[in-house]
Structure formats: C-alpha cells, structure tokens
Amino acid sequence: MQYIRNTVVLTFLFGLLTACVQNPVDLVRGDLAIAPMPANMTPEKGFFHINRDTWMQMDSFPGTTFDPLAVFHEVFLRKSGYQIPLVPKGQEQSDAKHLILIVKSPVQDDPETYRLSIKPYGIIITAPTTQGVFYAMQTLRQIMRIDALPDREQHDRSWVVPAVEIRDQPEFAYRGMHLDVCRHFMPVDFVKKYIDLLAYYKMNRFHWHLTEDQGWRIEIKKYPLLQEVAAWRKETRVGHYTDEPVEYDGTRHGGYYTQEEIREVVRYAAQRGVVIIPEIEMPGHCLAALAAYPSLACTPGPFEVATTWGVFEDVFCPYESTFTFLQDVLDEVMDLFPSPYIHIGGDECPKVRWKESAFCQELMRKENLRSEEELQSYFIRRIEKYLNSKGRNIIGWDEILEGGLAPHATVMSWRGMEGGIEAAKAGHQVIMSPGSHCYFDHYQAEPDYEPLAIGGLTTLEKVYSFNPIPESLNQQEAKLILGAQANLWTEYIPTPDKAEYMAYPRAIALAEALWTPPSKKDYASFVLRLASHLERLDGMGVRYAQHLRVPLAETRSVDKGLEIVWQTPLPRQTVFFARDTQTKAWSSVMTGDTVLVSESGSMYYKTDYSSVREIKYVPSKSRHAVITAIPVPHQRYPGGQGLKTLKDGLTGKPHFNGRDWCAWRGAPFILDLDFGELTSVDSIILGVLSSPGSWIYPPESVEVKGSSDGLNYQTIAMWQGEMKNGRQDITFRFPGSEVRFIRLLILPVRTILPGKPGAGQPGWTFLDEIQVF
C-alpha cells in the first residue's frame, strides 16, 4: 500500500487532547493505470486534490433515469467516510477551485464518449449522455485507486489525483460478458457483483443464460412447474463428462430467480450502464422445461432435468401449443427485461426427434420445408416475428444460419468467426464470441496445474489479441460487427469463487480488446497496468487467477535438444529449475530467457507463486527424421511446431490443445518419416488420444510400412483395436528392421456412432508423439 501518511503530529495530539473523534487524514496517491486504456490520454503536470472541500455540479441530462454518479458516490462514501456534495446550479458557496464540474456536450455519434480533464484547479467532465459521464466517473475512480483501499467509514481520506487530459470512446458498441446460471445456479448477490465488475471495466452488455437442459432459472408465473420441477435436478455429474467411470454427487441442485429479484438485478445493471440480454434457449437445450411440461416434446417422455453435460436429443417440438408456451414465457421475459434484444439460443439442436416425428414431417410438407434445418429456421422465424411484433429483436447462436437466417436476426458467432462472417456478408448484425478467444470456461494456463475446466487453452494474451473484425470483411460489412463477448459456461464452475477465477483477469483483457483502438493496444502496457489493478481487484474482493507471475513453459525442439522458455504475462519473473528435485539444487532463470535440455529426462520448475512442475523429455530416433503428412493436420490443431511437434521428445498431455497435439478429422491420412539413411528400427510407439466426449477417437486402424528407397513399401506392422479413454500408446514391435522410410497409414473414425456425443459428425484423431527406438 502506498498511502502517504501526512498526519501532522500536532494535529493528532490536539485531536487526542480535545477528545474529539477527529481522525487522521490519509492522503492517497492515485495513478494512471487505467483499464481499458483510454483512446487518447495525455498526462499533464500537477495534481488535483479531492477532499472535504471538493464539491460537484452537473448539468441536467433530460430524458434519462440513469444517475451516473450513484455508484461513485456509494464507493466514495464507503471508502472515505464522507460524501462529495452535488450542489444545484445557483447555490454555489464554495470555491471554484475545488469543483468537479460535469457538463453535457452536444450529442455526438458515439453516446458513450467522454472527456475527463483533471487540472490542478479542477476537474471537468464533458459527455453527451449519462453513459459517458458514468464512464468518466469509472476512469476517475480507477485513477484515484479508491477500490484498492479497505472500507474505512470512520476516517477521512483525501486524494491526490494526477493531472491528465483524457478523450475517450469505445472501439465497439457491444462489449459483453455472458454467465451460465443453469449448469450451476449463481446467487443474486454474485450476479450483481459480476455486473458491477463489467461496468467498472466499461463493458455494457450482460448476457444472462437463464434456461438449459440442467435447469430453468427464471420465474414464469404462468407456468409454475418451471419453478417446481424444471429448476431442480436430482444430482450432478462429478468430474469431467468424459471421465470414466461415471459418477454422480447424489445432491439435489437448483434454484431460480424470482421476478422481483430479476427486476432488482435489471435495475442494478441499468444504474451501471449495463443492458441485460436474457437468453431463453430454443429449440434445443430445453430438457428441464420438458421435464416440467413433457407435452412440449415430440415423444411422450417422461423426462428428467439433466444431471450430466452435453447435448440432448429431446428438444421442443414445433406444435402450436409449444409456440403458445414460448410466447407466454417471452411475454413475461419482455416485461422483466427492457433490452431491445432477446437471445433465443438456437445452438446445438439435434434433429433426431424431428426426423422421427410424424407431426414434424407433416409440418415440413405443409410448410414446404426441405430439411430439419429448415424446420429449425421456421421455428426461429416464428419466434422472431413474435418478438419483432413487440418491438424486440432476436440474437441467436450461429446455428440459426443453417436452414436460412431469420430476417432481422443478430448472429452470435461461437463456432469460430465463420458464422459471423457469413451473417455480416448477408447484411446481418453480428456479435463475435469464438471459442478460440472468448470461451472463459477454457483453461487459462497449463491444464495439469489448473482446477478442472472443459478443455482448450485461452491465455490472457490470446484474449488480449482478439480482434472481432475478420480480415475477409469489407468496410461496410465490418460495420455490422457490433462487438464481442466472452462466455462463461458453468459445467465445471460450481461456485462464484471459481467463476471469478475463470473470468478474471481475462475479462479485463477482453474489455481492453473491445474498448481501446487497435493502434493503442499494447500487451506489455496492459500487463503492467493489470499488475496495478490486482490491488483494486483485491479491494473489491475478486478471487481472480494468479497467472501474472505463474509461468507457462514453452518448448521448442532444436538440433541440440529441447529449448525451454518460461513465459509469464508480467515480464522478468524468476523461475527456478532443476533436473533432479531430490538434490534441491535449483538454478534460476528469468522468464523470457532460454534454457537448453540436451539429454533425456525430467526438468522440474517452480516460482514463488506456483508449485513444482515437470517437463518430461524423451527424445527418440524420430528426432532425426523429416516428417510429412498428407493431408496436413487440421488448422484447429496443427501442433505448436507443426509436424515437428510429433518428434519433439514430449508426449501430448490428456488435456488436448493445438500446441502439444496434431489432429486430423474424419478422413484417412498418411504420415511419412524419412531418416535420411538406412536406420535400424525395433519399435514405434504412437501416442493417441481417446476422448469420446470431445469427439476424439483412436484410429480404427494403423498400418506401418517400411521402405529403403521410398518407392517400394512393405507392411511391417498393423494395429486395430479398442482403447481406454485418455492418452494411450500404440506400440509396434519389429526387431531388427533396417529402413530409411517409415509410412503410417491411419484410418480414423469417419462418422461418430449414434448415441455418442457428436453423433453423425466426423471423428477427430489426435496424435502425439511418434517415438522410434
């Protein structure tokens, strides 16, 4: 803490002698560690003092019910023990040099813009809207470092604020975060805190995912069974949903928000400039509703609120009565949420039940629908028409493109950016939320050392690097990209603490990626500001992840062995490493520096902020081979060093990612190894992954061929078989062979079997590594 105690001893003694409750004044020094980085900021000389002499005056902003000072006043009172008076025009008594003046500027293009001038003689805030004023106050709040301080209502505090000139506005209009309260119910207080943090980082949309297979969380008065039945599940799957054996916790879980609570959260968000976009999922992800009202399904049921994760085949059946139900639900939703947008889901809706349903097939004939995808579009269009008639627009996940897009729909692109590109090219508005950068349920650091997550690896830097505008769009199309949001799905996030751990600090990186102009984005500057923000997050009681100083080991296979570089977001951190933990002979290195490992064995490392970790290096003869593949690996999982990843002496971990693994999808492929000269080979060990829950299967067969000339190949080994889940080795033994070329012919699972996750889709094949001995 950097308080400057300016307690004058005499004053203090005088205070004691007069037995007055006159406490010492803490002088708090502010800084310019603002996040997101303002669009324009020029530090100036001098300081402004905020203390008991300070007063405020604000122009009126006709037509708004949003008090842009309320949050600031609340925080200020809590931290300082006094209030800055807001003095009506004409009642000025104080000295103008202690004034914070808020002026309404003419309305401009961007309603969120603001100007904040901190001069030694006063502060002037200029903005066209209360939203702009609110953001100016958040910036001032950050500059004051007020949130870094403990609450001390009894004591006076006084602030020294550096002079600065800020002209700021956001790059994107839609800056959002999503929260899934269905997989795990989150209490109202936490939802409010989540919104509070969004607003602090100038995000303006909260996507509240309210209905799911595993629980319905919004009170709908017309349908009481949604509260009695759909809001509760009897138990919950334990561990990752690909784990075996399957285990359940035996504990009933659930809850829902009353309409009164929802109104309160909507009001709370509005006082922070945050619009809440409710999501009511249809036609899929609705098993909880079907458990309450089975007549909405194509088959009779009964159904049970889901207790495990994934995609379920029982979905809403497009009966007239289903539309009536959904319209009734949406009527109550619209009454609660003033948002111009209602999210209607639309993702991951299997068509199995519709294919089997005589009703659906007849409806398709009647409506001239050629496929079940078109039936889904019919479904979404009807709902869109209803919502449009009430003055609202729909947002849907990118699957709503599949059978033809509803006329006015906004597309939320989650399966990469492609859906968003297609929608923008068709003239539709888009919100980007690709898994690659925006799924905060992914790991943020090495999975082996993290609490359980769904998979993936989305580091702070990756989030920061996000640009929602794809290169393939022209200027006109790019204007349709409203912005982006991160999604926090909570299958593996049972508590508010873990939700904060997954969301922060990545949400701040996203906030900056969406607010700050690309020319001003600078990851190094961001990280330094973020280090300063951790004390603000501490002060706000946020249980963020500690990865600023925890290293991610990056490896590179080189001629002499394996190069390791440890990276932390915060530069120049000390990492301790040892080849042997028994001797405790730790050497140290700074992050960013390279260490070479030339012999096989383990490398252990740690920091003051992390436990001991291990890199197991086992190079083999494949190290000297040139590897080629036909076709090359899938672009999503090309291997961190391309095909070299397959021979870098490191075996892929069960938590798959595109760094450690190379992957192919659905079609046969060939891997060729050329050793450059005749080489004696006794065995090959091929590392493969089996994770059916993630659509990853071992190959159906692998054939090993050898050749001395690269023309004539002979089969030397063959594998076909079953495999346990997880990372497994396929071992081929053929002692005494002499070859220059080895060819692996790999047949993957072409189509995932019915009843399995991803049924009907091409299976993934993940490989790492190819060890040759």
> Which residues of the shown chain bind ligand ACM in the complex (CB under 6 A)?
347-348, 397, 414
CB 137 within 8 A of CB 143: no
What are φ and ψ of residue 90, in 5° steps?
90, -10
CB of 398 to ligand ACM, least distance (A): 8
CB of 659 to ligand ACM, least distance (A): 22
Q: Which of residues 212 and 660 has its CB atom nearest to ligand ACM in the complex?
A: 212
Q: Is it true that the peptide bond before 517 is cis, omega within 30 degrees of 0? A: no
Q: Which of residues 347 and 535 has its CB atom nearest to ligand ACM in the complex?
A: 347
CB of 347 to ligand ACM, least distance (A): 4
CB 87 within 8 A of CB 43: no
CB of 362 to ligand ACM, least distance (A): 30
CB of 157 to ligand ACM, least distance (A): 45
Q: Which of residues 399 and 703 has its CB atom nearest to ligand ACM in the complex?
A: 399
Q: Which of residues 72 and 466 has its CB atom nearest to ligand ACM in the complex?
A: 466
CB 304 within 8 A of CB 289: no
Q: Which of residues 67 and 347 has its CB atom nearest to ligand ACM in the complex?
A: 347
Task: Report the C-alpha gap between 659 and 457 in whole angstroms.
Answer: 9
CB 556 within 8 A of CB 595: no
The maximal CA–CA distance of the chain, rounded, in angstroms, is 103
**Burial (CB count within 10 angstroms: exposed 0-12, middle 13-18, buried 19+), residue 21:** exposed
Q: Which of residues 142 and 485 has its CB atom nearest to ligand ACM in the complex?
A: 485
Q: Which of residues 232 and 397 has its CB atom nearest to ligand ACM in the complex?
A: 397
Find, among 78, 88, 100, 99, the residue nearest to 149 by Cα. Answer: 78
Number of C-alpha atoms within 13 angstroms, CB side, residue 93?
5
H helix or E strand, kind and range, residue 142: helix 130-144
CB 673 within 8 A of CB 627: yes
CB of 600 to ligand ACM, least distance (A): 41
CB 410 within 8 A of CB 428: yes
CB of 414 to ligand ACM, least distance (A): 4
Q: Which of residues 347 and 700 has its CB atom nearest to ligand ACM in the complex?
A: 347
626: DSSP letter: E
CB 537 within 8 A of CB 503: no
CB of 640 to ligand ACM, least distance (A): 25
Q: Which of residues 110 and 347 has its CB atom nearest to ligand ACM in the complex?
A: 347
Q: Is it true that the peptide bond before 302 is cis, omega within 30 degrees of 0? A: yes
Q: Which of residues 31 and 348 has its CB atom nearest to ligand ACM in the complex?
A: 348
Task: Report the C-alpha gap between 381 and 279 in whole angstroms.
Answer: 16
Tokens of 480: 């349709």
Tokens 């103008």 sit at which residue? 96
Q: Which of residues 115 and 285 has its CB atom nearest to ligand ACM in the complex?
A: 285
Task: List alpha helices for 516-613, DSSP H.
Answer: 523-539
478 pairs with which residues across the strands? Answer: none
Q: Which of residues 216 and 309 has its CB atom nearest to ligand ACM in the complex?
A: 309
CB of 177 to ligand ACM, least distance (A): 14
CB of 124 to ligand ACM, least distance (A): 44
Specify the 3-state DSSP secondary structure of 165. strand
CB of 514 to ligand ACM, least distance (A): 19
CB of 311 to ligand ACM, least distance (A): 8
Specify the 3-state DSSP secondary structure of 179. strand
Rg (CA), the chain: 30
Q: Which of residues 110 and 348 has its CB atom nearest to ligand ACM in the complex?
A: 348
Query: Angle at the Cα of 610 (from 606 to 615), degrees rounded to 5?
Result: 45
Beta strands in 659-751 (DSSP E): 662-665, 669-690, 701-707, 714-720, 726-747
**Burial (CB count within 10 angstroms: exposed 0-12, middle 13-18, buried 19+), residue 630:** exposed
CB 82 within 8 A of CB 156: yes
Tokens of 131: 């939203």
Q: Which of residues 104 and 209 has its CB atom nearest to ligand ACM in the complex?
A: 209
Q: Is it true that the peptide bond before 491 is cis, omega within 30 degrees of 0? A: no
CB of 209 to ligand ACM, least distance (A): 9
Task: Report the C-alpha gap between 548 and 237 in whole angstroms.
Answer: 32
CB 652 within 8 A of CB 688: no
Tokens 């839609």 sit at which residue? 174
Q: Which of residues 149 and 401 has its CB atom nearest to ligand ACM in the complex?
A: 401
CB of 214 to ligand ACM, least distance (A): 13
Tokens of 11: 């004053």
Q: Which of residues 398 and 703 has its CB atom nearest to ligand ACM in the complex?
A: 398
CB of 433 to ligand ACM, least distance (A): 8
Q: Which of residues 347 and 450 has its CB atom nearest to ligand ACM in the complex?
A: 347
367-404: b (≥16 Cβ within 10 Å) or e:
eebeebbbbbbbbbbebbebbbeeebbbbbbbbbbbbb
CB of 757 to ligand ACM, least distance (A): 13
Query: Angle at the Cα of 517 (from 511 to 519), degrees rounded to 5?
Result: 125
Q: Are strands 211-212 and 215-216 parallel, antiparallel or unpaired?
A: antiparallel
CB of 345 to ligand ACM, least distance (A): 8
